[in-house]
Amino acid sequence: MKTVFITGAAVNTGFGIAQKFASEGWNVIITSRREDTALVAAAKLRAAYPGVTIMSYGLEMVLPDNTVNESRITAIFDELEEKKVNVDCLVLCAANLGIHQQIFKNPLSDFISVINTNIVANYYIIESCARRMKKCRDGSIVFINSNTAYRAIPDRIAYSTSKAGQLGMMRALALDLGGYNIRVNAVLPGMIKTDRWENNYNNCRYALSNYTPLHDIAEFSDIADAVWYFAVYARNTTGAELCVDGGNMIQLYPVVPEK
């Protein structure tokens, strides 16, 4: 039985990805910053998919002083090795969204926190996980990236920077890990129907990103299916980006229907 490790998997897209893999018979390891939140999500998943093993960990990727929580990340992967659990697919979904960060208002520490979470901590998680994948000469690593790696939105400089940086890291890792048969790819969602979509500070239901060529934004299952493709079917694909945004990125500008 195969195992997927998903960060930020207690709710929203991460939980949707966990559901997809569990429904396909994979064992699932989920993380959340809070141990109790991870436990609740794991219990929910266990109840829905009794035939698979669900594990959970509390993982604060970046500590309040903005340092990466190396010892916790190391401890988790050491424990998995001790338990003889091989991670076949690693999904990096947790993200510091860096919302409302303004260039002239926010302290540098806010910028650093986003970069350290979305790039540096992910790098360390990958290093810890790929060490074990390397021994098996098999593995798939999937970033949940964003189309904001290419298209900016207001007051999200650190977030956009981190997502663009993730794509550079993804390609470099794909090159360096390819010889071990470890594939590294990225899914680029546009807007996803989280509760933020309904209750967003920007009233996103009316945002122009709703006007996609496909006239819809992504469900959790759309993102989960893209991750599943990379994990299971994409034997000869690495360093690739799969955009799941209803075609939003291909437009010069959104075509808004006449009222």
Ligand X SMILES: NC(=O)c1ccc[n+]([C@@H]2O[C@H](COP(=O)([O-])OP(=O)(O)OC[C@H]3O[C@@H](n4cnc5c(N)ncnc54)[C@H](OP(=O)(O)O)[C@@H]3O)[C@@H](O)[C@H]2O)c1
List binders of ligand X among 20-39 (CB under 6 A): 32-33, 37
List binders of ligand X among 37-96 (CB under 6 A): 37, 61-62, 93-96
Scan for tokens 């190391």, then name that residue: 74
Indicate the residue among 180 and 240 with the shorter CB distance to ligand X.
240
Indicate the residue among 66 and 181 with the shorter CB distance to ligand X.
66
CB of 78 to ligand X, least distance (A): 21
Contact in structure between 142 and 186 (CB atoms under 8 Å): yes
CB of 220 to ligand X, least distance (A): 7
Question: Distance between CA 206 and CA 233 in Å, rounded?
Answer: 36
- Residue 189 within binding range of ligand X, rule CB under 6 A: yes
- Residue 13 within binding range of ligand X, rule CB under 6 A: yes
List binders of ligand X among 133-162 (CB under 6 A): 144, 146
Question: Distance between CA 165 and CA 146 in Å, rounded?
Answer: 11
Binding-site ranges for ligand X (CB under 6 A): 8, 10-14, 32-33, 37, 61-62, 93-97, 117, 144, 146, 189, 191-192, 194
